[in-house]
Amino acid sequence: MTMTGAALTMLEQEARALLTRLDRVRSFALHETLVPAAALSLDAQVAIERYLGRRRRALRRLVEEYIAWLRSPAARATTPDVAQRRFSILRLRFNAVLTQFDIFADVITQRSESQTGVWLAGLDVVAADALALPGYYEAPPVACYLDRGHGAAIRRARTRLPGGGENPVAVIRVPRERMVGAGIASSLIHEVGHQGSALLDLVAWLRPVLRARQRGDARQQLVWTCWERWISEIVADLWTVARVGVTATVGLIGVVSLPRVFVFRLHLDDPHPVPWIRVKLSCAMGRALYPDPQWTRLERLWEALYPPAGLSPDLRRTLADLSSTTDALARLVLNQRPPALRGQKLGAVLGAPERHPASLRALYQEWTAQPRRMRAASPSLVFAVIGQARHDNLLSPEGESGILGELLAEWALRATLDRSELCARWPARGVAAAV
């Protein structure tokens, strides 16, 4: 056998081996074990399975076309290195499909964990509720999973996945150490805010607005340059405050309560605001959206926990300049009218009267007397009320954890029953329509 013939034979064997391994990448519905209440939403399941199914079929076609080429006269007329080069590219595509499969496997596999899986399904419901903005966009499905660390993250829907292709669902990683309490809402809804902001194209709209403020002396230019570079995280924090009120800021404090060197670290290449300023800005946005003395008290408490004494004069001056503009920045952002909002102010669209601290306190008193009303409320509103009560020292951490754990399970079960009812009715409607 010639060298070319031997190379083609070996590469064909390797390509056929890829096909055997591809056959083992089965649908999640065939090998993941979980209770029905822990399942992803029906939209998320369908979107993931359809996406991965298309990728597998496309890859299979490429492998089969490559094998057919290896058996052709054109391949026998080429050199081994050309055939190897084509195979290397094919294997990279194969590994990209496996990587995408693993991304969703991380999400789905945890659903089989006792209790945790059901809680995650409950968080899916909370995230979907916090993302909903009827009349402004069609929200994509959301899927949550837990991971180590103290920060959350999102792989936004409709963005490019590793190896190509558009992500069909918003995948949110939440820190395991924050399960379960009102603080989870701060991390979860912050990531939801990134998705909502992208759907409304808020960052692209706000950057030029902030660049226009970069005038005057060098200190003012630096301040507004910082706000412009941090605007993506700022908008996500605003979304969180708008949805869950003081729960957002208290949860943020829990995330960024680090050694002083990190709390006061200022890096312009970091998309996150310096933590000391970020908490103060969260208070400023709360003050602008839902006026109440609690925001100023919380800001002073934060300053007491992390006094700026001992910092270099330049850093102290920069932090003071940033701090002095937080209220102005909050008002500026809330008063914007991005095109996606069709003439409405951002603050009017995101804010809601029932999320005002006075309303949250009244709801807590009402729900204490009539717990059933709490179960009928939207999940993000429940987190806002519970978080406000915890902040007001009306609810213990133990009581908070117990209530929210039960509600996460209930929301997951309710979503499951709604799906089951929908599936049960669909064939009847389909038959009726066909007749």
Secondary element (H or E) of residue 217: none
Q: Which residues contact 127 (CB under 8 A, 6 or more apart)?
A: 142, 144, 170, 172, 188, 189, 191, 192
pLDDT score, position 267: 87
pLDDT score, position 41: 81
pLDDT of 336 strictly over 50 = yes
pLDDT of 433 strictly over 80 = no
pLDDT of 59 strictly over 90 = no
| Pick from 137, 157, 153: nearest CA to 145 | 153
d(CA 416, CA 314): 56
By 3-state DSSP, what share of the chain in percent is helix, strand and coil, each rounded to 5? 70, 5, 25
More confident residue, 130 or 401: 130
Question: Look-up: residue for tokens 């990531």?
Answer: 191
* pLDDT over 90, % of the chain: 53
pLDDT score, position 423: 58
Least confident of 48-57, 209-218, 378-387: 48-57
pLDDT score, position 38: 79
pLDDT of 374 strictly over 80 = yes
pTM: 0.85
d(CA 175, CA 184): 8
Rounded to the nearest integer, the mean pLDDT of the chain is: 88
Secondary element (H or E) of residue 175: strand 170-175
Q: How confident is the model at residue 435 (pLDDT cuts 50, 70, 90)?
A: very low
pLDDT of 422 strictly over 60 = no
d(CA 243, CA 256): 20
Q: How confident is the model at residue 430 (pLDDT cuts 50, 70, 90)?
A: very low
User: 275-289 vs 326-334: helix axis angle to the nearest 10?
Assistant: 50
pLDDT score, position 424: 57
Q: Which residues contact 1 (CB under 8 A, 6 or more apart)?
A: 9
What angle (nearest 5°) sits at the alpha carbon of residue 36, between those of residues 35 and 41?
A: 130
| Pick from 147, 131, 142, 141: nearest CA to 179 | 147
User: 379-391 vs 246-256: helix axis angle to the nearest 10?
Assistant: 70
Q: Which residues contact 9 (CB under 8 A, 6 or more apart)?
A: 1
Average pLDDT over residues 91-120: 82
pLDDT of 28 strictly over 90 = no
pLDDT of 259 strictly over 60 = yes
Residues in the chain: 435
Average pLDDT over residues 250-258: 91
> Contact at 8 Å (CB) between 315 and 263?
no
Residue 120 has a CB neighbour count (10 Å cut-off) of 27
d(CA 326, CA 104): 39
pLDDT score, position 384: 96
DSSP state of 166: B
pLDDT of 215 strictly over 50 = yes
Q: What residue type is 313 in one-letter code?
A: P
> Contact at 8 Å (CB) between 174 and 123?
yes
Average pLDDT over residues 418-428: 58
Which of 52-56, 174-178, 430-434 has maximum average pLDDT?
52-56
pLDDT score, position 140: 94
**What is the distance, to the nearest Å, from the Cα of residue 209 to the centroid of all Cα atoms in its chain?**
25
pLDDT of 428 strictly over 70 = no
